[in-house]
Structure 1
Amino acid sequence: MKITSPKLNENPEQINLNEALQEDYYISNSTVCSLEGIEESEGKIIFDQVLFKQASFVDLHLYQVEFIDCIFEKCDLSNVVMEQAVFHRVEFLACKLFGANFADARLTDVRVCENHANYLNLSFSKLKKVSFNNCTLNHADFIDATLQHIEFEACEIDEANFTDTSLDGVDLSSTTYENLLVSLEDLKGCTVSMEQAIGFAKSLGVIIKE
């Protein structure tokens, strides 16, 4: 699967986001290292070609925020609330997404690499061309989400919740977990390893004879 990478300009200007938002809710061609003074947005904010570098979004509330051609590098987004957010050509690199709430969001051409993302909430979201690589996604919620061209590569997904979410076309064979919340109907078309297939069979009460 080919994911289109963010298109950032070279040497973006480092800005004070708190000051910039007092003038405009469209932030472009910038580097943001601090969100100090930002509590929650009162209007829609658009970030276009922005590098967030080691910035903390902890407990921040940003509703209907939009990120276009953005990179989050070693940022802490623990317990951030970004419901109905839009992520288009975005990368999350070595970030903390513990308990991040992206419910009802839209993600297109997104890479999530080496993130700690336990309890990540993507319920009711639409994901298209999204790659999760070497991430911890234990107890993550994908309830009633739409997954189209999704990759889970070497991820931990124990107790992840895929209720009412079709996994048709999704490859889970390289993931590790003890239990998943998913129906047999929604597993149709999903690729799993032999060990995982045996685990699903045992959950149905099937006796495996070796």
Structure 2
Amino acid sequence: MNLPLIDSQNFNHQDYTKNRLPKAEYSYCSFTNCNFEHSDISNTIFLECEFHDCNFSNANLKHVTFNDVIFTSCKLVGVNFKDCNDFLMAFSFKDCNLSLSSFSEMTINKTLFSSCNMHQVDFSFTEAKSCQFIKCDLKKALFDNTNLEQSDLSTAFNFDIDPSSNHLKSALFSKDNLFGLLRTFNIKVK
């Protein structure tokens, strides 16, 4: 599919719930205070784009390409990232709300999550090697057969990760958050 190219444009205060984002390849674009909630942005390509203060909650991301994309202070509640195009997928999240979203059965190696609210995020059967979860709230996040090798969870909190059903080789934890690894075994630490 040949999409029109939109390069180096700034989009501010757009409501894509009413006027659909045109299907295109967006390169080096910036989106600020845009509303994509419940909107259909399927089959769109974003290359080296930035999203600031945008709402993607429950958006349809079927076959969307995110390559080197930065989300800052965005609301991405209930987003199924598994629907995205995984070819050259690369993104990072800073100060975002990703609650109830899913990265299940994906490869998201080296992804940065910084100061994100990630309540009930599904990471089951996900390859998440060398990811950084910096100051992230992982309350009730699902880790089942997740590969977290060499990932940094040293400042993450409220997580429950069963070491017997996940891959944690060389993952980094702090002594302050070890309880999240032991809770499954009903071990108490004082």
TM-score tier (shorter): 0.7 to 0.9
Residues 165-174 or 67-76, more deviating: 165-174
Aligned pair partner of 1:103 in 82, 90, 93: 82
- TM-score, normalisation: structure 2: 0.82
Secondary structure at the aligned position of 2:181 is classed as: helix
Aligned pair partner of 1:131 in 112, 126, 149: 112
Q: Which residue of 1 aligns with 2:166?
A: 186
Cα deviation, residue 25, structure 1? 4.1
Which amino acid in structure 1 is aligned with residue 164 of structure 2? L
CA contact (8 A) 2:135 2:157 kept: yes
- Aligned partners of 1:199 and 1:113: how far apart in 2? 23
- Aligned partners of 1:90 and 1:121: how far apart in 2? 18
Q: Are the structure 2 counterparts of residues 75 and 205 from structure 1 closer, same or farther at C-alpha, using a change threshold of 3 Å?
A: closer
- Aligned partners of 1:98 and 1:120: how far apart in 2? 6
- Aligned partners of 1:80 and 1:96: how far apart in 2? 11
Q: Which residue of 1 aligns with 2:73?
A: 94
CA contact (8 A) 1:84 1:103 kept: no
Structure holding more strand per residue? 1
Which amino acid in structure 2 is aligned with residue 169 of structure 1? Q
Q: Are 1:38 and 2:20 matched, yes or no?
A: yes
Q: Are the structure 2 counterparts of residues 180 and 66 from structure 1 closer, same or farther at C-alpha, using a change threshold of 3 Å?
A: farther
Q: Which residue of 2 aligns with 1:61?
A: 40
Q: Are the structure 2 counterparts of residues 38 and 143 from structure 1 closer, same or farther at C-alpha, using a change threshold of 3 Å?
A: same
- Aligned partners of 1:63 and 1:125: how far apart in 2? 18
Which amino acid in structure 2 is aligned with residue 138 of structure 1? H
Secondary structure at the aligned position of 2:129 is classed as: strand
CA contact (8 A) 1:67 1:86 kept: yes
Alignment of 1:115-130 (within 5 A): 115-130=96-111
- TM-score, normalisation: structure 1: 0.75
User: How many corresponding residue pairs?
Assistant: 181
Cα deviation, residue 186, structure 1? 1.2
Secondary structure at the aligned position of 2:9 is classed as: strand
Work out which of the two has the higher radius of gyration on C-alpha atoms and give 1 or 2.
Answer: 1
CA contact (8 A) 1:84 1:102 kept: no
Which amino acid in structure 2 is aligned with residue 191 of structure 1? L
Give CA deviations for 1:10-29 in whole Å, capped at 9, x if unaligned. xxxxxxxxxxxxxx543322
Give the unaligned 5+ runs of structure 1.
Answer: 1-23
The share of aligned pairs that are identical, in percent, is 20
Aligned pair partner of 1:161 in 110, 133, 142: 142
What is the root-mean-square deviation in Å for CA atoms of aligned residues? 2.4
Cα deviation, residue 77, structure 1? 0.9
Q: Are the structure 2 counterparts of residues 147 and 75 from structure 1 closer, same or farther at C-alpha, using a change threshold of 3 Å?
A: same
